[in-house]
Amino acid sequence: MVSENWAVRYRKLTDAGLIVLGSEAKEKIESLSSILPMLEAARSSDVKLLDSKTIDDLLSLVPDGTDQKSNTNSDNKGQYTLPKRGNDSPIGRIIAAPQSELEIAPRPHGLEYYDMMDFPMEAKEIDSEIQIHFDITGKSTTEGTMSDIQNCFNSRLSQIRNLMISNRILPRKPISISEAWRNRQRYSSIDYEITLVGLAEGPSWARSGSLIFYVEDESGTQKCVLKPPSDASPIHASMDGLMEDEVIGVTGFFIGDRDPAFLVQDIHKPPLQNHVKNPAGEDSAVSAAFLSDIHLGSKTFLDKPWEKMIHWFKNDPLARTIKYFVLSGDGVDGVGIYPGQDRHLAIKDLFKQYSELARLLDEVPDWIDIIILPGNHDAVRPAEPQPSLDPEIQQDYSDAVFVGNPCDFSLHGVRVLSYHGKSIDDFVATLRSVSYDKPEIAMKAMLERRHLAPSWGNKTPLSPEPEDNMVINEIPDIFVTGHVHGHYVGNHKGVTLLHSSTWQDQTDFQRMLGFQPKPCILSVVNLHTFATASIPFV
């Protein structure tokens, strides 16, 4: 009787560098009372791939190999190896039989185990297929005028309002604030509710528990009041605050004769239905790896774990399935990013930081395509959306693909939205539920608002382009961020959420805040199965 489940058994196989091919091979392995004799035979025979026939061959060399029951009276105390290729001899050398079961070690950081059967294809023979849907590089036209700012906000409002209307999440067709104001005497009771859509402004909580805010559209601004309900109403229970300048819909009616306010009965957020992913085909079942915030040049860059990762890339079976390596910003620590940074730098020349990063990335196997975004520590404008790194910097990198931040692109048809994540700072400062140790909540809030960085004039500098390119018009299959040095892999309404790990140890600033980063974890997603794996290197 098998005493361990498949996850435990499978982990022993992957720890031994073995790949299981096919369901029949899996069934045979599951039926064994112990896999250690087979593991020893595979190791000694230099076998790496376990299909059904190879398992039979290995078990034929193991005493009582068909069921591996212990036999204390057996004269055969050893087991054989498979012959080397080209050797006609039926057996190889004899090795000692294993003595006892090995216990599987727990994975660092409590990370989940992964199954190599979910990563079915090696990437070496697969051609790259990268399609860029949006990248601001070379397309920024703003001059930063008041007109540009107005156009950007009008674009945001128009895009998200159209999403609300086309997805039928509003109870009725919205009207403009100016029209509502003209007819406020009519819309003054619950029997004559109306719906407005606009940008939220100045949200604050009154002592009474009411949420006070303003809604602005192209025609005007209206004060709104959301009173606390007497029961645990769904709207109030889910209200964790409003982001400045996010687009919302409000349904209600006017109250008061002098300077009437709009009494809100319901708040409508942009639509986010359950998403159905578009997987890569079976013939393109390769994987993408994700990392962020390497911070090369900092004294806290973790060089030894980096060497471990490069060794893993060159030798591990999972690494052979990786076709793309996405770096979501802050590849270097930069120079002059914050006061006193100089004393924290191991490399104080910006161009030398990028040259050293290029040298490290050159060690990544050549079958892997590297995609690099900038972040707030990189040598680009701080205002988002950010263009790609300067061509003078790019010339040190042989095969990397440089894109802006954010970037909306597809890998073999799988839609990926990669964003460095600077606006997480604003979500933490504004929403009650968001904290730096749970960046995935900010990511969910971005998707729910259909916008990566709603708040103007706070911690995230924004470029007022004629079209607001931070709107999430197309729901991605994979949404990835970085910036706050955490790690998360999960799902939200059908979207794979991935917060990329950092390669920087705890900084003085993080220590002062009591924040412990989660460094040196590489995240891998298979583009066909959408299975994920998190590989720790510390």
pLDDT value at 73 more than 90 = no
Angle between the N-to-C axes of helices 52-60 and 36-44, in degrees from 0 to 180, rounded to the nearest 10: 100
Statement: residue 147 has pLDDT above 70: yes
Per-residue pLDDT at 231 exceeds 70: no
Quick check: 453 pLDDT over 50?
A: yes
Mean pLDDT of the chain: 88
Instruction: Kindly report which listed range (63-67, 114-118, 121-125, 337-341) carries the lowest average pLDDT score.
Output: 63-67
The average pLDDT across 46-58 equals 82
Q: Using DSSP, state whether 418 is helix, strand or coil.
A: strand
Q: Hunting for tokens 């190889």 — which residue is that? A: 92
Q: What is the pLDDT of residue 270?
A: 94
Instruction: Find which of 74-83, 199-208, 309-318, 509-518 is predicted with most confidence, using mean pLDDT.
Output: 309-318
Q: What is the mean pLDDT of residues 215-234?
A: 82
- Contact of 377 with 330, CB cutoff 8 Å: yes
CA 496 to each of CA 435, 447, 533: distance values in angstroms, whole numbers, following the listed order: 20, 12, 12
Q: 204 pLDDT band (50/70/90 cuts)? A: confident
Q: Return all residues near 335 (Cβ < 8 A) that are at least 6 apart.
A: 341, 342, 345, 348, 349, 350, 353
Residues 6+ apart with CB under 8 A from 538: 108, 302, 305, 519, 520
What is the model's pTM? 0.81
In the prediction, which pLDDT does 72 show? 39
Is the predicted pLDDT of residue 319 greater than 50, yes or no? Answer: yes
Q: Encode pLDDT of 81-124 as tens digits.
A: 555 444 444 444 444 444 444 444 456 667 888 889 999 999 99
**Residues counted in the chain:** 538
What gap in Å lies between CA 193 and CA 265, rounded to an integer? 9
Res. 483: pLDDT tops 60: yes
Phi, psi for residue 521 in degrees, rounded to 5: -120, 115
Bridge partners (DSSP) of residue 497 are: 479, 490
Beta bridge partners of 198: 248
- Count CA atoms closer than 13 A to 271's CA, side-chain side: 17
255: left (phi over 0), alpha (psi -120 to 50) or beta: beta
Q: Both tokens of residue 244? A: 């400045």
Q: What residues contact 506, with CB distance under 8 A and at least 6 apart?
A: 300, 515, 516, 517
* pLDDT attached to residue 8: 77
State the pLDDT confidence band at 195, using cuts at 50, 70 and 90.
very high
The structure tokens listed for 406 are 């954010």
How many CB atoms neighbour CB 484 within 10 A?
24
3-state secondary structure 376-422: CCCCCCCCECECCCCHHHHCCCCCCEECCECEEEEECCEEEEECCCC
Tokens of 151: 């156009």
pLDDT at 81: 54
Q: Torsions phi, psi of 508, nearest 5?
A: -60, -40
Q: Which 3 state secondary structure label does DSSP give 428? A: helix
Q: Look at residue 22 and tell me whether its pLDDT is greater than 90.
A: no
Q: Model confidence at 342, in pLDDT bands (50, 70, 90)?
A: very high
Angle at 338 between CA 337 and CA 344, to 5 degrees: 90
Please give the pLDDT value at position 83: 53
